[in-house]
Structure 1
């Protein structure tokens, strides 16, 4: 049974000096142009979430390391035995190889983070439930622009909505992480703030999705709100005049087509997107009626003041 595959691959990459998965895959192709070493699955192998099932991968691996042992031995050997064998074969001390592997892993992680961050750069058409009580049940369209920012994998994001009261523009940093994609964006000429909590990005990254959290902008009073949001990548930026509330009978698929996306089976697409955006709500954003919160606030304010008067 195969074991310690992730650690063995990292030691191999450190020995060969390959920085990325693509480099490692190229090394495997160097010994076998038809190798079953799969670039798409290599990420899971390196993270220990899966392992190669084809014995030929291990045979190619043995050739790559110029070992006398067969591929099955690489799969089944313990980590100490594997390390000792490649150190002896290539004349390197174990401590030095392990040091290189640690440094290599850090460098590879930084490279992957940077690469993943840059893959997010682009413009997106955004659809979410309207937060305003005046437009309950309707969708609102926004545009998101992501650009490379400062730091090793920094990103900046700008989100815009065309509201009846004027343009709403928010900006800030976007942070990609293993468990999600996060952004706290603030209004450039006001006090509004939106927080985006999205699913982790994956290649090729045609869609981002998750939650938008903020307070309603148009209404008699601000309401803390939560709504699902979808962000569909565009090949070209949307016109500056595009956006705002989608008519009640509007079609997201046709709206995207107007932005240059070729959508087939528009009715099926609309049903699927509408189902996602509605989630478990009543068709609008998830909101707490102010009166409900105020009744609890009033009750506990009275408790607090009464107890304060007794001290």
Structure 2
């Protein structure tokens, strides 16, 4: 709706559907990714577009003036209508990371080789407006908690998670998603808690937003799971995601994404590989999320 576009440009709202940013990426020829468009500042966007197109300075000045921008201010994607501004020193993209997630990754335990492990993640801002992250797993009937500060530069979010059980550090690198961050991909690395060889290990990890839930609500769902799309679909259904056929396709897609071999030999999670799954999960997200998407709150 036109009024929503004006709210986006003026800084009063953010589109809560990743497809908005994907559409703009296509308009621009595909040289910029949807997450970049969602989180970039005016100046960053200007530099990126200027590398591919000749944009007159008069046009840029007019856009700054229409958006009410002063030279040096950094609202995201003002050129195409974004609204995110820096709040209390936090990067504009950080606020849509906050929430509770079900985490799915390949199991590291040799006893559970080939299976998945389900954990929980909670991301929140502390009193100093710094993002904190808590990751919890159920390992052989013991709840293991890891926590740390989550730092973001607008493209990625990283944390060194301290394990309360072993005192080891686990490193988490997440790709910055587009709003509403229903699905976040990344890499988790460290050494398995129960492993006499203490192997250095890294794997893909996916975070699925649990709308309206608290981390405590998901504890019963944590543990090991066979790498079966139907079982992952059951987890999605328990989180409130709708649409049997698309939910089944998403469950299969999640298993394939987590287990896909890397042709480069690196353990990596390319955000472009996640785009098809992101489109599905946004379509089948619980009704309260869809209502927010429609209103751009």
Same fold by TM-score, threshold 0.5 exceeded?
yes
Helix, strand or coil at the partner of 1:274: helix
Partner of 1:217: 193
**Per-residue displacement from partner, 1:70-123 (whole Å, max 9, x unpaired)?**
xxxxxx995379869x99xxxxxxxxx99x412x33897524945422211110
| CA–CA separation in structure 2 for the residues paired with 1:230 and 1:216 | 18
Normalised by the length of structure 1, the TM-score is 0.58
Partner of 2:166: 190
Alpha carbons of structure 1 residues 21 and 81: separation in structure 2 relative to 1, 3 Å = closer
**How many residue pairs end up in the alignment?**
215
Query: Does structure 1 conserve the Cα–Cα contact (< 8 Å) formed by 2:102 and 2:218?
Result: no
| CA–CA separation in structure 2 for the residues paired with 1:258 and 1:267 | 13
Q: 2:251 aligned with 1:275, yes or no?
A: no
Query: Does structure 2 conserve the Cα–Cα contact (< 8 Å) formed by 1:142 and 1:159?
Result: yes
From 71, 83, 100, the equivalent of 1:101 is 71
Flag the structure with more relative contact order, 1 or 2, with Cα contacts below 8 A and sequence separation at least 6: 2
| CA–CA separation in structure 2 for the residues paired with 1:251 and 1:215 | 26
Normalised by the length of structure 2, the TM-score is 0.61
From 224, 230, 234, the equivalent of 2:210 is 234
> Alignment RMSD, CA only?
3.8
Q: 2:2 aligned with 1:22, yes or no?
A: no
Helix, strand or coil at the partner of 1:217: coil
Gaps of 5+ in 1: 1-19, 27-37, 52-75, 88-96, 287-311
Larger radius of gyration: 1
Query: Does structure 2 conserve the Cα–Cα contact (< 8 Å) formed by 1:162 and 1:242?
Result: no
Partner of 1:129: 106
Partner of 2:145: 169
Gaps of 5+ in 2: 1-6, 14-20, 25-36, 77-83, 268-297
Partner of 1:79: 57
Q: 2:157 aligned with 1:181, yes or no?
A: yes
| CA–CA separation in structure 2 for the residues paired with 1:223 and 1:82 | 52
**Per-residue displacement from partner, 1:235-257 (whole Å, max 9, x unpaired)?**
11333322010135561011221
Q: 2:252 aligned with 1:252, yes or no?
A: no
